[in-house]
């Protein structure tokens, strides 16, 4: 949001001038019609495919729809969620995914990015290599990793483990290792993006800060600890919350790798919403699905709000 605050103040003046000059003229001659024509695509597309559905999701959470009749059911959908034993399972699984994704995917890109920022020759090659997995369509990488995760001793990863004398692992076939395996794949697919974001932030650290630290006799470790990391803090804080918001809505990886199994051990919240709405054996339940997605959105909004409050307090110190 920094760019909003840096919006040039000069931009405000022409608007004022224009308004003063043009107030006597009619709406049409002021270009009112053409203004509307230019805004029309945005208004129509956002109205129908964004603002409308957002309002509708709130409405639908309090309704039951079976295509023919729609009736208001008050808090029934939310009560039904409380009774469903799959909801706590999905919440815990998603939390476990988010935690593992933080452990795997948060510190490593930082270390890699700091190291990469010191590369003087062919840094483009390093960046390209790190970013390459991000460019691969997620479905392709998930299906590829599904083949890597073949639990037989002849599977790709089990062959590699065999070279160093580790017995074959069940990977996505067992409830204990399925989630870490999914997170490993997700980290492979996403880490490059985080590395590039950090790298962009690292190269814009003001050089004077390092010069000043050196005058004070700081070594490399001190400079990284007292200059680099504090300068990266805003970016680190933002990538943290973005990662939480992203992982809370994880769908593709468990859906394609394990389909929520074994025994619902990798069923995520979004997968449960998807089941309620589109895969329910006893018929669609749009009300329950929108109620759960609304709860998830409210939780994320609250979490982000509290998070920014707390981190702002830190920055103010």
Partner 1 sequence: MTTTTATPSGAVDAGQPVVVDPGRRRRLRHSSRPESDERTAVSVAERRRPGIRIGLGTLHLLLLILLILWGVGPLLWLLKAAVTPTQDTLQAPLAVFPHGWDWNNVVAAWTQVQIGTQFLNTVWVALGSWFVQLLVATTGGYAIAILRPAYAKVVNWLVLATLFVPGVVLLVPLYLTILHPPVIGHSLIDTFWAVWLPAGANAFNVVLVTRFFQSLPHEIFEAARTDGAGPFRLFWSIVLPMSKPIIGVVSVFAIVNAWKDFLWPRLVLTNPAVQPLSVRLPNIQSQTDLGVFLAALAISMVIPIALFLGFQGMFLRSAGLGGAVKG
Chosen residue from 22, 29, 154, 233 binding partner 1 by CB under 8 A: 154
How far apart (Å, rounded) are the C-alpha atoms in residues 163 and 29? 78
CB nearer to partner 1: give 15 or 164: 15
Binding residues for partner 1, total number by CB under 8 A:
121
71 is an interface residue for partner 1 by CB under 8 A: no
Least Å distance, CB 205 to partner 1, is 7
CB nearer to partner 1: give 176 or 221: 221
Contact indicator for 90, 275 with CB cutoff of 8 Å = no
Within positions 172 to 201, which residues make up the interface with partner 1, using CB under 8 A? 188, 192-193, 196-201
CB nearer to partner 1: give 7 or 83: 7
Chosen residue from 73, 86, 87, 144 binding partner 1 by CB under 8 A: 144
How far apart (Å, rounded) are the C-alpha atoms in residues 179 and 265? 8
62 is an interface residue for partner 1 by CB under 8 A: no
Within positions 255 to 314, which residues make up the interface with partner 1, using CB under 8 A? 256, 269-270, 273-274, 277-278, 286, 289-290, 293-294, 296-297, 300-301, 304
DSSP the chain: -HHHHTS-GGGHHHHHHHHHHHTTS-TTTTTHHHHHHHHHHHHHHHIIIIIHHHHHHHHHTTEEE-SS-EEE-TTHHHHHHHH-THHHHHHHHHHHHHHHHHHHHSHHHHHHHHHHHT--S-HHHHHHHHHHHHHS-HHHHHHHHHHHT--STTSHHHHHHHHTTPPP--GGGSHHHHHHHHHHHHHHHHHHHHHHHHHHHHTTS-HHHHHHHHHTT--HHHHIIIIIHHHHHHHHHHHHHHHHHHHHT--HHHHHHTTT-STTTT--HHHHHHHHHH--TT---HHHHHHHHHHHHHHHHHHHHHHHHHHHHHHH-
CB nearer to partner 1: give 97 or 286: 286
168 is an interface residue for partner 1 by CB under 8 A: no
Within positions 10 to 29, which residues make up the interface with partner 1, using CB under 8 A? 10-11, 14-15
Scanning 77-85, 91-99, 111-119, 168-176 for contacts with partner 1 by CB under 8 A, the matching segment is 111-119
Within positions 209 to 248, which residues make up the interface with partner 1, using CB under 8 A? 210-211, 214, 220, 223-224, 227-228, 234-235, 238-239, 242, 245, 248
Chosen residue from 22, 29, 203, 233 binding partner 1 by CB under 8 A: 203
CB nearer to partner 1: give 135 or 176: 135
87 is an interface residue for partner 1 by CB under 8 A: no
């Amino acid at each position: 949001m920094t760019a909003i605050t840096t919006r040039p103040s000069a931009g405000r003046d022409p608007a004022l001038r224009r308004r003063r000059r043009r107030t006597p003229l009619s709406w049409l001659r002021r270009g009112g019609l053409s203004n509307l024509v230019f805004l029309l695509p945005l208004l129509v597309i956002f109205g129908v495919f964004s603002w409308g559905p957002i309002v509708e999701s709130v409405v639908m959470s309090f309704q039951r729809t079976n295509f023919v009749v729609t009736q208001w059911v008050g808090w029934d959908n939310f009560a039904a969620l409380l009774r469903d034993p799959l909801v706590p399972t999905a919440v815990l699984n998603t939390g476990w995914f988010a935690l593992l994704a933080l452990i795997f995917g948060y510190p490593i890109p930082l270390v890699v990015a700091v190291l990469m920022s010191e590369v003087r020759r062919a840094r483009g090659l390093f960046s390209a290599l790190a970013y390459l997995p991000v460019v691969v369509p997620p479905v392709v990488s998930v299906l590829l990793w599904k083949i890597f995760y073949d639990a037989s001793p002849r599977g790709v990863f089990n062959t590699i483990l065999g070279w160093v004398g580790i017995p074959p692992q069940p990977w996505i076939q067992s409830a204990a290792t399925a989630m870490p395996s999914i997170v490993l794949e997700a980290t492979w697919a996403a880490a490059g993006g985080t590395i590039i974001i950090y790298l962009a932030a690292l190269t814009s650290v003001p050089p004077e800060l390092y010069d000043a630290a050196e005058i004070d006799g700081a070594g490399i470790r001190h400079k990284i600890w007292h200059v680099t990391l504090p300068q990266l803090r805003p970016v680190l804080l933002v990538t943290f919350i973005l990662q939480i918001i992203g992982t809370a809505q994880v769908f593709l990886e468990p859906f394609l790798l394990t389909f929520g199994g074994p025994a619902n051990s990798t069923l995520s919240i979004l997968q449960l919403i998807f089941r309620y709405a589109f895969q329910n054996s006893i018929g669609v339940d749009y009300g329950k699905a929108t109620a759960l997605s609304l709860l998830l959105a409210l939780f994320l909004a609250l979490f982000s709000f509290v998070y920014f409050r707390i981190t702002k307090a830190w920055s103010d110190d």
